[in-house]
Amino acid sequence: MAPSSTTTAADEHRLLATEIVNRGTDTFSVRVRRRLPLPDFVNSVNLKYVKLGYHYLINHAIYLATIPVLVLVFSAEVGSLSREEIWNKLWDYDLVTVLASFGVFVFTLCLYFMSRPRPIYLLDFACYKPTDDFKVSKEEFIEMARQSGKFDQETLDFKRRILDSSGIGNETYVPKSIMSTQNIATMKEGREEASTVIFGALDELFEKTRIRPKDVGVLVVNCSIFNPTPSLSAMIINHYKMRGNILSYNLGGMGCSASVIALDLARDMLQANPNNFAVVVSTEMVGFNWYPGCNRSMLIPNCFFRMGCSAVLLSNRRRDFPRAKYRLEHVVRTHKGADDRSFRSVHQEEDERGFKGLKVSRELVEIGGDALKTNITTLGPLVLPVSEQLLFFSTLVKRHLFGGPRKENSNNNNSTMIINNGSSNNSTSSSNSKPYIPDYKLAFEHFCVHAASKMVLDELQRNLELSDTNMEPSRMTLHRFGNTSSSSIWYELAYLEAKGRIHSGDRIWQLAFGSGFKCNSAVWKAIKRIKKPSSRNPWLSSIDRYPVTL
């Protein structure tokens, strides 16, 4: 068999998943399903999102674009004159004209600087590391689920298979409440877990930055599932006795991408309120979201989500530049909620027994890939070098004008497949009909991709053509801390700092996605080199053991 045929067969085998159904005493049936990978970005780039990215770029760069034009016009005018003619022209103007022209110039310059958005600095951040009594291995996790008495053996076996292929290691953290034989989704248990992780992260943040809680002018908290009354933001204000005129916001139901949404809100608040600090807290309550039933699509979050919380301190004060670590460059948000399939891909509901949980669609990876494609296509014009943009845009326009490959029929992707010995006709598109996909490694030195699962990270790496080093922070965070929901991108940045990889001028891309369906990006630029991690870095005690082979 030719190598190309071998590769095709291997790829086809990788996309198939088997499941035993209709198990009887002596017989059983095997159902073979096709896994849904991310869409092929090479053949599915939408021109309108490229236009949207250039629209953002033009809006932010209009002033800079006019400066070269003015310089060229002035140079052309002055360049044709001799020195004597220039002096004569200057003496021809009276004092009033000169002063008026100078006043207009100063006024225009002041107007330009006043209209520019204030720079947003990240002074520092903290990621909560639970104590060792919350730590569980994968085997201990299964045993805890067995001791709770809520799951039958078939369900426990399913959980074990998910954990074995998840990319999660043996040192993640879960709340003790999940071991309880009683109902653990209570307000008391939720508040106790929230107090543990949130106050732990904030105590560390205030200690590292030496900022008093009363100095904080904006507080944004995001937690998707647990939203008590009073809110989590009110709980923080009460605990730290923050000032009465603080601008506080509590975001709920926003999923794993909520940290970037909260960051965007904090940025807008800082733009409108000068000389202020903003704190962004991102977390999720694992125990409150624990599903005690046997619906397999609702058991998956049990296997992946772990305890975690991040707290970030932002400033819009220019005098904080010397002490800041990063400057916020861009935030790009994508929302696919208008599509019903995307809207229901991650859905909180009750099962047939009335147990509440998160139902995860089989099409989640495909849906997430579509949102990701839109987001990075919009982000490209803001961050990519000019050479990459020209290559990408020219080939995309060519494909748009002269047509591209036809989309394959994928209506049967979710249906049961019949496997026979016959050969399949796999149509491949011509290489000259594919648009040029930019190399995002030229735009960023570091990548912090939400650590959702091993399969999702594998598909992202393949589609974006990232190296193992690029994906290392995400994979190692998934292995060491599990999926900590919206805070995972900060554990990944803490990993890069612990490894000493952040240098002055480095650009970091934080990419997160979650229910809704949403995909959001934040771009940071390092102001200084992070020579060594802080004494409270969550990776400090284990960084020498990483990276590990998964």
Residues designated as active site: 256, 335, 446, 450, 479, 483
Tell me how far apart the alpha carbons of residues 169 and 144 are, in angstroms, rounded to a whole number.
16
Q: What is the DSSP string of 505-519?
A: T-EEEEEEEETTTEE
Element of type H or E holding 108: helix 95-115
Q: Which amino acid is at 116?
A: R
> Are 212 and 240 contacting, i.e. CB atoms less than 8 angstroms apart?
no
Strands 216-223 and 277-283: what pairing? Answer: parallel
Residues 6 or more apart whose Cβ sits within 8 Å of residue 463: 38, 40, 41, 369
- SS3 helix, strand, coil % of the chain, rounded to 5? 50, 15, 35
Residues written for the chain: 550
Q: Position 352: which residue type?
A: E
DSSP notation for 298-321: HHHHHHHB---EEEEEEE--GGGG
Cis check for the bond before 322: say yes or no (omega within 30 of 0).
no
Both structure tokens of 240:
């730290």
Nearest residue to 186 (alpha-carbon basis) of 255, 289, 284: 289
HSE of 250 in the Cβ direction (CA atoms, 13 Å)?
14
Is residue 478 within 8 Å of 458, Cβ to Cβ? no
Nearest CA to 329 out of 254, 250, 260, 259 is that of: 260
Tell me the H-state helices in 134-257: 138-147, 153-164, 187-209, 232-240
Cα–Cα distances in Å, from 155 out to 22, 175, 183, 414? 15, 21, 19, 22
Quick one: tokens of 405?
A: 């490959």
Please state, in angstroms and as integers, the Cα–Cα distance from residue 114 to each residue in 60, 110, 272, 274, 483, following that order: 14, 6, 13, 12, 42
